[in-house]
Structure 1
Amino acid sequence: MMMMNYTQVSFFIMGSYVDTGLLRYLCFLVVVCLYVVIVVSNVFLLVVICVNRSLHEPMYLFLCSLLVNELYGSSGLFPFLLLQILSDVHTVPAAFCFLQIFCLYMYANVEFYNLAVMSYDRYVAICHPLQYNARMTLQKVSVLVALSWFLPVVFIVVMISPNASLRLCGNVIDGLYCNNYAVVKLACSDTTVNNVYGLVYTFTVLVGLAGLILYSYTRILRVCFSGSRQTRQKAVSTCSPHLASLINFFFGCFFEVLQSRFDMSSVPHMLRVLLSVYFICCQPLFNPLVYGLNLTNVRLICRRLLAGKITAKRSDF
């Protein structure tokens, strides 16, 4: 393919879409159903938390931030998938591609930041229950939520900006959606700055946030082993949804990194497509379910809402 620089690339071609004939309409229907379920479940749980003052506590405020991020991420990616499924020409304007990269990375980073902050919240609630209200004030919760959204914006803008000066040798992206590393791989010019910043940022985020998560759960486990049976039961009931969400998120990220960083040509095409879809819908589908079913207060209030009986009840934490 003729060498070109970024200013000459007006669009990218998404190489993972194939002509499936009438099957495309079935795929479209499945994706629409997934998107509707994601929006309805996340909005419903947000409404449950907002209209019940008994849930206006740090744990549930962090959960609200997580749910808003699920709606943001899915709304930034699912409409694009639906359009591409029905389209005969799978192209995307260059400007929109970089906007999609921002949305994708913003969603993943905010998710990780929120999960790390929620692990710290569980650590304070279980290891320092008498000081919980003093430590997790509304002001502190607001700052933590704001940082969970502000820091990813700054870091991702800095990460994507150098791509504007890259000379590209092609415009075909092997994926269902735009990916920053996929664009970098098309470059003919030096990508040292891009690679170094990406590695430094990834290492910093992994060490910092994963370290906070590991520290929090190490202290929680120590309290559980040295505490009473009631303490262990309380820790399990409040931490199990968060742990399940963490594991699910890490699996999705692991599969996405495998596809973007390594040659997956030997893997069946349909499996690669399913793994990409899993990354963008695993958390938005999973979190409302796991938090709605495992948190007693949320489950009880959901039942009352569905039954038309909304009553306020004090939360355990």
Structure 2
Amino acid sequence: MSEKMGNSSEIVSFVLSAYGNIGELKYLYFIIILVWYLSICVANTVLIVVIRVDRRLHEPMYILLSNLCVNEINASTSLYPLLLSQMFSDSHEVTVPWCFLQMCCLYTSAPAELCSLAAMAYDRYISICHPLRYNVIMKTERVFMMILLVWVYSFLSFIFSFSFIFSLKFCGNIIHSVYCDHQLIIRLSCPVSIQSFISDISFAILSVFIPFSLILVSYMKILGVCRKTSKENKQKAVTTCTPQIISVSNLFFGCICYFIDFRFVVSKLPDEVLNIILPMYMLICQPMLTPFMYGFNLPKIRQSCKRFLFKRK
């Protein structure tokens, strides 16, 4: 199929051109991607199950962490099965409805990730800055309401930013990526409208700037309190907040990789890195970073994992 077509009604599928002709390497790539995807699912599922079965972990922070792990599985499932199915495809075609479905899942999981971290940062703020009121403020019912709000907000931010894409007429069908990237899909519309720029700005504000600002405010308040407290309380705050700070920093770097065109910054990297790895950085690293950072760095979860995996009482 050609990249531009005269009759937009002919567009029933998109072609993911970034796969190219990988020959016999497709078997190696398939195994690597499959192992990585299964590892993500297993690691996050173990953490969810451990939090669910251990009543000692039925606390707001761990309930919110469990929701974060659910989102990691959701984001990975939105991407990796398509990658695996395309490994052995000759045409690398994806129907328009499936492409839109993947886009919906991917761009809902992105704000859900940062909003979940914002909720966890708020939980740490209440725990450290208002410890005597913690049990009153962070009731279980309120925690589940926060989780519901995270998902509703994430879905609405996607609808507000990208709902116009569903009514676009397309004059081309070749997407220069390995997944359905909204920016590349919009470029195939005829004509390309200013809505493309507006959607990027609104998505960046709703999905990145607002949650990141809430996280930043929470940790600034925590830092202000820690400066005046004892060394023991400082150490406790560092232990519980470090995984979240690393997650947020990694996501911030991932957002930079996604929103900035590195062709204008780095000229010596191969096209595979620029077109595939950097835009997908968050979906490659973050889903595995979350369970390992929290599973091995938070003492209560580490102990519960050992009891769960090795049947220790």
Query: Could you tell me which residue of structure 1 aligns to residue 309 of structure 2?
Result: 306
Q: 1:190 to 1:26 in 2, by over 3 A?
A: closer
Kept in 1, the 8 Å contact 2:16–2:92? The answer is yes
Task: Give SS of 1:167's match.
Answer: coil
Query: Cα offset for 1:190?
Result: 4.9
Query: Cα offset for 1:261?
Result: 10
Query: Could you tell me which residue of structure 2 aligns to residue 315 of structure 1?
Result: none
Q: 1:289 and 1:72 mapped to 2: Cα distance?
A: 17
Query: Could you tell me which residue of structure 2 aligns to residue 71 of structure 1?
Result: 73
Q: 1:53 to 1:90 in 2, by over 3 A?
A: same
Q: 1:176 to 1:260 in 2, by over 3 A?
A: farther
Question: Are residues 1:291 and 2:294 paired?
Answer: yes
Query: Cα offset for 1:203?
Result: 2.1
Paired residues, what number? 310
Q: 1:261 to 1:103 in 2, by over 3 A?
A: farther
Question: Are residues 1:108 and 2:110 paired?
Answer: yes
Q: 1:276 to 1:196 in 2, by over 3 A?
A: closer
Q: 1:248 to 1:63 in 2, by over 3 A?
A: same
Q: 1:17 to 1:260 in 2, by over 3 A?
A: farther
Q: 1:296 and 1:51 mapped to 2: Cα distance?
A: 17
Kept in 2, the 8 Å contact 1:169–1:186? The answer is yes
Q: 1:17 and 1:306 mapped to 2: Cα distance?
A: 39
Q: Which runs of 5+ in 1 are unaligned?
A: 311-317
Query: Could you tell me which residue of structure 2 aligns to residue 314 of structure 1?
Result: none
Segment of structure 1 superposing worse, 257-266 or 151-160: 257-266
Query: Cα offset for 1:142?
Result: 1.2
Q: 1:157 and 1:6 mapped to 2: Cα distance?
A: 23
Segment of structure 1 superposing worse, 42-51 or 150-159: 150-159
Segment of structure 1 superposing worse, 149-158 or 64-73: 149-158
Query: Cα offset for 1:274?
Result: 2.7
Q: 1:131 to 1:208 in 2, by over 3 A?
A: same
Q: 2:264 and 2:233 mapped to 1: Cα distance?
A: 44
Task: Give SS of 2:9's match.
Answer: helix
CA RMSD of aligned residues (A): 2.1
Task: Give SS of 2:22's match.
Answer: coil
Q: 2:51 and 2:68 mapped to 1: Cα distance?
A: 12
Kept in 2, the 8 Å contact 1:6–1:164? The answer is no
Kept in 2, the 8 Å contact 1:116–1:209? The answer is yes
Q: Spell out the pairing of 1:23-38 with structure 2 (5 A cutoff).
A: 23-38=25-40
Segment of structure 1 superposing worse, 268-277 or 24-33: 268-277
Query: Cα offset for 1:235?
Result: 0.7
Q: 1:6 to 1:259 in 2, by over 3 A?
A: farther
Q: TM-score, normalised by structure 2?
A: 0.92
Q: 1:88 to 1:166 in 2, by over 3 A?
A: same
Q: Which amino acid aligns with 2:149?
A: L
Q: Spell out the pairing of 1:100-139 with structure 2 (5 A cutoff).
A: 100-139=102-141
Q: 1:80 to 1:64 in 2, by over 3 A?
A: same
Question: Are residues 1:212 and 2:200 paired?
Answer: no
Q: Which amino acid aligns with 1:36?
A: L
Query: Cα offset for 1:18?
Result: 1.6
Q: 1:135 and 1:235 mapped to 2: Cα distance?
A: 19
Q: 1:168 and 1:135 mapped to 2: Cα distance?
A: 50
Q: 1:85 to 1:279 in 2, by over 3 A?
A: farther
What is the percentage of aligned positions where both structures have the same residue?
A: 38
Kept in 2, the 8 Å contact 1:98–1:178? The answer is yes
Q: Spell out the pairing of 1:1-317 with structure 2 (5 A cutoff).
A: 1-4=3-6, 6-259=8-261, 267-272=269-274, 273-310=276-313
Q: 1:175 and 1:2 mapped to 2: Cα distance?
A: 17
Query: Could you tell me which residue of structure 2 aligns to residue 313 of structure 1?
Result: none
Q: Which amino acid aligns with 1:237?
A: T
Q: TM-score, normalised by structure 1?
A: 0.91
Task: Give SS of 1:168's match.
Answer: coil
Q: Which amino acid aligns with 1:289?
A: F
Q: Which runs of 5+ in 2 are unaligned?
A: none
Query: Cα offset for 1:60?
Result: 0.4
Query: Cα offset for 1:266?
Result: 6.8
Kept in 1, the 8 Å contact 2:108–2:154? The answer is yes
Q: 1:74 and 1:268 mapped to 2: Cα distance?
A: 25
